[in-house]
């Protein structure tokens, strides 16, 4: 008789237990997805850092030059003899991954530059 009652009568406590079980399965699936992504990101980061140098951070007051990478793919005749690197400039402010620069004379350069 208990088998018949357990399959035919739906009690609120049974529904709540089932909903909690489903919610836990969803959380377990999400956790597995996050763990998988973290593992692959760690592998990717390890491979990238082995191939290229570490992150470069500039501080205000440091001198640097930047590369005009757009000139590498330009086939115009007038661009062939243009310098690929900028004249020296000074870092004035760091904005997370970008920098504000000024010329050696102290004139601010328009825009933000990233390393």
Best CA proximity match to 114, nearest among 74, 49, 56, 44:
56
Q: Do residues 85 and 66 make contact, with C-beta atoms less than 8 angstroms apart?
A: yes
Domains of the chain: which residue ranges?
63-114
Average pLDDT over residues 2-9: 66
Cα angle 6, 9, 11; round to 5: 95
What pLDDT is stored for residue 82 in this prediction? Answer: 78
Average pLDDT over residues 47-65: 82
Q: Do residues 86 and 65 make contact, with C-beta atoms less than 8 angstroms apart?
A: yes
- In percent, how much of the chain has pLDDT > 70? 91
Average pLDDT over residues 96-109: 88
What pTM value is reported for the model? 0.47
Q: Do residues 63 and 90 make contact, with C-beta atoms less than 8 angstroms apart?
A: yes
């Amino acid at each position: 008789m208990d088998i018949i009652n357990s399959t035919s009568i739906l009690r609120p406590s049974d529904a709540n237990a089932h909903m909690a079980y489903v919610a836990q399965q969803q959380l377990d699936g999400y956790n597995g997805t996050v763990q998988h992504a973290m593992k692959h990101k760690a592998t990717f980061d390890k491979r990238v850092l082995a191939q290229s140098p570490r992150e470069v951070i500039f501080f205000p007051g440091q001198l640097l030059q930047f590369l005009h990478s757009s000139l590498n793919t330009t086939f115009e005749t007038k661009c062939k003899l243009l310098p690929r690197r900028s004249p020296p400039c000074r870092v004035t402010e760091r904005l997370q991954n970008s920098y504000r620069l000024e010329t050696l004379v102290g004139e601010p350069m328009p825009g933000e530059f990233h390393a």
